[in-house]
Amino acid sequence: MTSLVMSFIGRDKPGLVGLLSSTIAEHQGNWLESGMSRLGGQFAGVLIIQVPEQQQEALTAALQSLEEKGLKVSIERSEEAGAEAESRAVTLDLIGHDKPGIVREISQALASMHINVHKLQTELTSGSMSGEQLFKASAELLVPSPVDLDELQDKLEAIASDLMVDITLD
């Protein structure tokens, strides 16, 4: 079996998930993991597919032919990294008034400590009392074992103060 990572984007309309799942099933593929969302009128997602080696080329061609139906597709072979075994999972939650640069500042701080962002979810919401735009982020991080969590907390608190956001680690 071969694992493939596929990303796609297309104008949001009913039936896109059905189109993808049918194409995968027709080539003996197995839908393993996915994350999908409607953003700005587009429907986008990433998924992992497992397929028999002899079906990989046919499945790849069939998925790429979905561009005729409005889906842009990119497919790569999965290459699992062993770094997760030497890391611990940490959740980061952030909330604050929206302004440019929040994701850049946090991601640069994490990268400087060799911390991998495993998952990231962001959204803009209206503040309950002020009506101002609030930026919310939730991330699953893979923190290498040698990284001191207190040092990470201190580094993020300094950034949070500059950006005027609240950050919590679990």
The predicted model gives 87-96 an average pLDDT of 92
The domains found in the chain, sorted by start residue, are: 2-77 (3.30.70.260), 83-169 (3.30.70.260)
Phi, psi of 166, deg, nearest 5: -105, 130
> Residue 31, class by beta-carbon neighbours within 10 Å (0-12 exposed, 13-18 middle, 19+ buried)?
middle
pLDDT at residue 81 greater than cutoff 60: no
Is there a contact between 91 and 170 (Cβ–Cβ < 8 Å)?
yes
- List pLDDT tens digits, range 92-148: 999 998 888 899 999 999 999 999 999 999 999 887 776 788 999 999 999 998 999
E strands of 98-147, at which residues? 116-126, 133-144
What ranges in 31-125 are assigned the alpha helix state H? 56-64, 102-112
The tokens for 23 are 């194409």
pTM (2 decimals)?
0.76
How sure is the predictor about 90, in pLDDT bands with cuts at 50, 70 and 90?
A: very high
